Structure 1
Amino acid sequence: MGKLPLFIFFRDSRNVLKKDELGIEIANIGLPATFALMADPIASLIDTAFIGRIGAMELASVGISVAIFNQVSRITMFPLVSITTSFVAEEEATIKSTSEAEDYENVGSNQDFGLEMVPLTGSSDMKIAKSEDNRRRVPSASSALVIGCMLGILQTLFLISTAKPLLRYMGVKPESPMLKIAQQYLTLRSLGAPAILLSLAAQGVFRGLKDTKTPFYAIIIGDSVNILLDPIFIFTLRLGVNGAAIAHVVSQYLIFIVLIWRLVENVILLPPSFKELQLGRFLKSGFQLLVKVISTTSCITLATSLVARLGPKPMAAFQVCLQMWVATSLLADGLAVAAQAILASAFAKKDYEKIVAAASRVLQIGLLLGLLLSFFLAAVSQLASTLFTKDSDVLNLMNISFPVIAVTQPINALAFVFDGVNYGASDFSYSAYSMVAVAVVSISCLFILSSSHGYLGIWIALTIFMCLRVFVGLLRIGTGMGPWSFLRS
C-alpha cells in the first residue's frame, strides 16, 4: 500500500473514468442513487416555483417551514438510512462468503460420489438454498423498518405540538403574517413523516443489497404525482400553500407503498425472534450518527434563523438558493451511496485492495463532478433565478448567493463522498465527534460573519463549514487512522 496513506487520493488517477469492473459497479450503484437523491430536491424546487407565483410572503413562509421540517428530518433519516445500508451490505457479504464456501465444500464432497450439483448464480439474487421461498433473510431490514416507523410517528407528534415555538425560534414574530401560513404548512407536511422514514429505511435495505434502481423508480413515481397534484391543489382547488403540503404528503405515502411492495418480494421482513431485530446495534451506531447530524443540522438551522431575522425577502432568496445548493450537491451523494455499499462489503471480506481502489476512485470522481457542477451553475444562474420569482429585491440577493454556490461545488462534492467512505468503513464514531468540532467553529463563524457582512457573511460561513468537513475526512484517511490503519502497513 505504501507508507504514505495520503497517496490513496492520487492512486490510478489517470483511470478515474475507466470502464473497468470497479467503474461499472460504481456507475450501476451510483447513477440510480444520484437520480433518486436528485428527484426530491427537484420536486421541492418545482413546489417552490409554484408557491413563488403566489407571492414573496408565501415563499418565505414555506421556506422557513421546509427548513424546520428538513432539519428535524435529517436528525432521524440520515442515521437510519446510512446505518441500514452498511449493516445490510455487511450481512449480504457475510452470507455470500459463507454460502460460497459451503457450496464449494458440498460440490467437492458430492463429486466424490458422482453426484451433480446445481451451481449458484453469481448475481445479487444468489440463492443460498433451494426452497419454495427464495427471499433473503436480512435481520437488519426488519430492524430498520421497525425503527423507521417509530421515529416517523414521533417526528409527526413533535412537529405538530411544537410548530409555533419552532417558528418563533427561527425568527418569525407572533405578529408576523408569515406565522399562520408557515404553521399550517408545517403541520400538514409533518403528517408525511412516517412515510418518509419508512421509505428511507427501505431505501437503505435496497442500497445495502446494491440495488439503487428500485428506489429510483419508486421516487420518480411519487414525485411525478407530487408535481401533477401541485397546480391542481394550489390553483384549481385554491388551497394555496396548504395544497402544496398535501400534494407532497400524498407522494411520500405512494413512494413507501411502492418500495414496501417490492421489498417483500425479495426480503423476509418478519424475523423469527426478537433478538434478530438487532435494536441495540442500531441504537449504538445511530446515537453516534445522531450526534453528527445534530451538529450538521445546528449549522444549517442557525444560518436559516439568522437569515429569517433579516426579513421576508432575504429569507425568500435564501430558501431558493439553499434548495439549489442542496440539489446540486446531492449529485455527489450518489457517489457516497456507491462508496458506502462497496466499501462495507469489502471491509466485511477484508478485501483491502478493493477498499483502496474504491475509495480513491469515488473521491476522484467526486472532485471531477464538483468542478463540472461549478461551470454549469455559473452558466445558468442568471436564467435560473427568474424561474422562481419576479421580485427585484429577491433577485438581487439571489445574485449575491450564486457565485458562492458555484465555487463551493467541488468542496461540497468531496464532503458528501468522504461521508460515504467513512460510513462504508463503519467509522461512525469519528464521523460524529469530528463533526462536533466542525460545528463549533462553523457556528462561531456564522455569528461573527453575519454581524459583519449580513446576508453574504452567512454564505461565507457556510462555505467554511463545508471546507472543514472535507478537512476532517482528509485527515482520517490521509493519516491512516482508525479502520484505515492498514494503509500504513
Structure 2
Amino acid sequence: MADVDTSPESAARPTAGVDPGPPARRILGLAVPALGVLAAEPLYLLFDLAVVGRLGALALAGLAVGGLVLAQVSTQLTFLSYGTTARASRLHGAGDERGAVGEGVQATHLAAGIGVAIVLAVQVLAGPVTAAIAGGSDIATEAERWLRIAVIGAPLILIAMAGNGWMRGVQNTLRPLRFVLAGLAVSAAACPVLVHGLLGAPRLELAGSAVANVAGQSVTAVCFVAALARSRVPLRPRASVMRAQVVLGRDLILRSLAFQACFLSAAAVASRFGAAAVAAHQVVLQLWNFVALTLDSLAIAAQTLVGAALGAGHTASAKGLARRLTGWSTVFAVALAAVFALGHTVIPTLFTDDAEVLGEVQVIWWFFVAIIPFAGVVFALDGVLLGAGDAAYLRTATLACALVGFLPPIWLALVYDWGLAGIWSGLTAFMVLRMLAVVWRAGSGRWAVGGADIQVGR
C-alpha cells in the first residue's frame, strides 16, 4: 500500500505486557510533522490577512467576519480527524492495515457528504448570518461575498481532516504535512496575484482571497483522495462504519461546543471592559493558542501510539506510553512556562507598544504562565484518552469543568467588575479541573481496553 508507512520501525508491534518504550526519534518523528500540519494553516491565515489588509479596513473586516463563520463550521467537525485517528490506530495496532485505511475511506465519504450540506446551507444563510454578525453594514456585504466563494472549499477542508486522521492512525504524519504544504503553497502564490491583479490576472480584491483558498484546498484534498485510491482498499461507502464514526464524533462535537461557549463568553465579557482589555486578552489568548498548538503535537503522538498499542491488545504497553508521554509533555510545558515567565517584560512588547494594553497584559500574564504546566498534563492525557476512544468521558468531563470552573467566574467578572483577572481565573480553574479529571481517568485504567474495536464509553 503505497501511502501507508510500512517501514520495519512503524510495523513493529510491542511485546504483550511490556512497555516497548518507542525511541525518542520515533515519537518526535510523529510529533514534529504533526506540529507542522497544525501550524501551517494559522501561518497561512496571517499571510492572507497581510495581503487583504492592503485593500483597506473594509476588506479586512469582511475577511474577519466571513472567516469567523467558516472557522466555526469547521471547528465543530474535528472528529473527522481525531475520531478517525482513534479508530484507525487501533486497527493498525491489530495488524489490520486495510481496515485502518478503510476508516479513512469512510471518513472521506462522511466529509464529502457533510461538506456538500454545509455548502448548500451557507449559500442559503450567508446573507442573514453575516448581517447578524456585522450589523447589516458594508462589512456584511464584503463578508458575504467572500463567504459564498470560500465555503465551496468546505468539503475539501473536511476531506483533508479525514485524510490527516487516517494517516496519523497508521503512524504516517510526514505525508500529510507534504500534502498540506503543497496546497498552502498554491494558495500563497495565488492570493496576492488574484487579490491585487498581479502578473496580468484580474484584480478580484477580497474575492481573490477566497478563490486562492479554494484552489489550495483542492490540491490538498486531491492528494489525500489519490492516496486512498492508491492504497487498493474498497472505496464503496459502508453505512455501519460511518454510523460508528458519527457516534464517536457526536461526543467530540459536544466537547468542542463546550470550548466554544467558554471562549466566546470570555471574549464577550472582555469587550465590556474596554478596548485595552480586549486587546490585552487577544494578545495573551493568541500566545495561549500557540502553546496549545505546540503541546497538541505531542498529544497526537500519544493518540496514535496508544491507540496502536491497545489495538494490539497490549494494555500494559499503552499505560506505559501514557506515563512516558505525559512526562515528556509536562517537562516541555514547564520549559515553555519558564520562557514566558522570563520574557514577561519583553514578549508582550512584540505585539503592542500601547502602555494601557501592556498594563492589562501584565494583569493576566501570570495566570497564563501558571496554567501552562497544567496544560502539559491535560493535553497529553487528552491524546491518550482520545487514542483509547474514550470520547464519551472527555465530553462529560469537559462539559462539567466548563460549567463549574470556567463559565461562572467569567460572568461573575462582569457582574462584579473583576476585569480580565476574573476571566483568566476562570480559565485557570477550568484547566485545573480538567487536569484532575483526566489524571483520575488515566489512573483508573478503565480507558485501557484492548482490541481492534473501540469499546470504551459505550
Q: Is this contact kept in 2: 1:449–1:461, CA < 8 A?
A: no
Counterpart for residue 190 of structure 2? 229
Q: Is this contact kept in 2: 1:138–1:269, CA < 8 A?
A: no
Q: Is this contact kept in 2: 1:85–1:205, CA < 8 A?
A: yes
In structure 2, which of residues 245, 248, 253 is the aligned counterpart of residue 285 of structure 1? 248
Structure 2 SS opposite 1:21: coil
Q: Which runs of 5+ in 1 are unaligned?
A: 1-18, 97-123, 125-134
Supply the distance in 2 between the matched residues of 1:456 and 1:51 (Cα, whole angstroms): 34
Q: CA deviation at 1:279?
A: 2.1
Q: Is this contact kept in 1: 2:385–2:447, CA < 8 A?
A: no
Counterpart for residue 85 of structure 1? 85
Counterpart for residue 22 of structure 2? 21
Is residue 270 of structure 1 aligned with residue 235 of structure 2? yes
Q: Deviations over 1:113-141 (max 9, x none)?
A: xxxxxxxxxxx8xxxxxxxxxx7774322
How many residues are paired up?
A: 422
Output the TM-score relative to the length of structure 1. Answer: 0.75
In structure 1, which of residues 325, 330, 343 is the aligned counterpart of residue 306 of structure 2? 343
Q: Is this contact kept in 2: 1:476–1:482, CA < 8 A?
A: yes
The residue type equivalent to 1:197 in the other structure is L
Distance 1:403 1:381, change over 3 A: farther
Supply the distance in 2 between the matched residues of 1:158 and 1:211 (Cα, whole angstroms): 34
Is residue 448 of structure 1 aligned with residue 382 of structure 2? no
Supply the distance in 2 between the matched residues of 1:401 and 1:416 (Cα, whole angstroms): 22
Structure 1 SS opposite 2:37: helix
In structure 1, which of residues 259, 278, 284 is the aligned counterpart of residue 224 of structure 2? 259
Supply the distance in 2 between the matched residues of 1:400 and 1:196 (Cα, whole angstroms): 38
Q: Is this contact kept in 2: 1:59–1:316, CA < 8 A?
A: no
Q: CA deviation at 1:164?
A: 4.8
In structure 2, which of residues 321, 324, 347 is the aligned counterpart of residue 381 of structure 1? 347
Q: Deviations over 1:141-166 (max 9, x none)?
A: 22111111112122233334334554
Counterpart for residue 367 of structure 1? 330
The residue type equivalent to 1:44 in the other structure is L
The residue type equivalent to 2:84 in the other structure is T
Is residue 249 of structure 1 aligned with residue 180 of structure 2? no
Matches within 5 A, 1:403-422: 405-422=368-385
In structure 1, which of residues 156, 159, 169 is the aligned counterpart of residue 119 of structure 2? 156
Distance 1:458 1:137, change over 3 A: closer
Supply the distance in 1 between the matched residues of 2:399 and 2:393 (Cα, whole angstroms): 10
Q: Is this contact kept in 2: 1:292–1:432, CA < 8 A?
A: yes
Counterpart for residue 184 of structure 1? 145
Higher relative contact order (CA 8 A, sep 6+): 1
In structure 1, which of residues 168, 173, 196 is the aligned counterpart of residue 135 of structure 2? 173
Supply the distance in 2 between the matched residues of 1:59 and 1:183 (Cα, whole angstroms): 13
Distance 1:404 1:255, change over 3 A: farther
Larger radius of gyration: 1
The residue type equivalent to 2:380 in the other structure is V
Q: CA deviation at 1:20?
A: 5.9
Counterpart for residue 110 of structure 1? none
Matches within 5 A, 1:118-157: 138-157=101-120
The residue type equivalent to 1:142 in the other structure is V
Q: Is this contact kept in 2: 1:422–1:428, CA < 8 A?
A: yes
Of residues 238-247 and 83-92 in structure 1, the stretch that sits farther from structure 2 once superposed is 238-247
Counterpart for residue 75 of structure 1? 76
Q: Deviations over 1:41-97 (max 9, x none)?
A: 222233334445555665555444434332321211x2121121111112222235x
Counterpart for residue 36 of structure 1? 37
Q: CA deviation at 1:21?
A: 3.0
Matches within 5 A, 1:310-329: 322-329=285-292
Q: Is this contact kept in 2: 1:137–1:267, CA < 8 A?
A: no
Q: Percent identity?
A: 26
Q: CA deviation at 1:40?
A: 1.2
Is residue 466 of structure 1 aligned with residue 431 of structure 2? yes
The residue type equivalent to 1:358 in the other structure is L
Q: Deviations over 1:428-461 (max 9, x none)?
A: 1101111221222322332222452445644443
Output the TM-score relative to the length of structure 2. Answer: 0.79
Compute the RMSD of aligned alpha carbons: 3.5
Structure 1 SS opposite 2:95: helix
The residue type equivalent to 2:172 in the other structure is D
Q: Is this contact kept in 2: 1:87–1:140, CA < 8 A?
A: yes
The residue type equivalent to 1:475 in the other structure is W
Structure 2 SS opposite 1:95: coil
In structure 2, which of residues 388, 392, 396 is the aligned counterpart of residue 425 of structure 1? 388
Distance 1:137 1:413, change over 3 A: closer
Q: Which runs of 5+ in 2 are unaligned?
A: 1-19, 451-458
The residue type equivalent to 1:333 in the other structure is D
Supply the distance in 2 between the matched residues of 1:183 and 1:400 (Cα, whole angstroms): 38
Q: CA deviation at 1:254?
A: 1.6
The residue type equivalent to 1:482 in the other structure is R
Q: Is this contact kept in 2: 1:41–1:326, CA < 8 A?
A: no
Distance 1:22 1:155, change over 3 A: farther
Q: Is this contact kept in 2: 1:45–1:320, CA < 8 A?
A: no
Q: Deviations over 1:207-253 (max 9, x none)?
A: 11100000011112222333333333344465444433333232222
Supply the distance in 2 between the matched residues of 1:217 and 1:329 (Cα, whole angstroms): 22
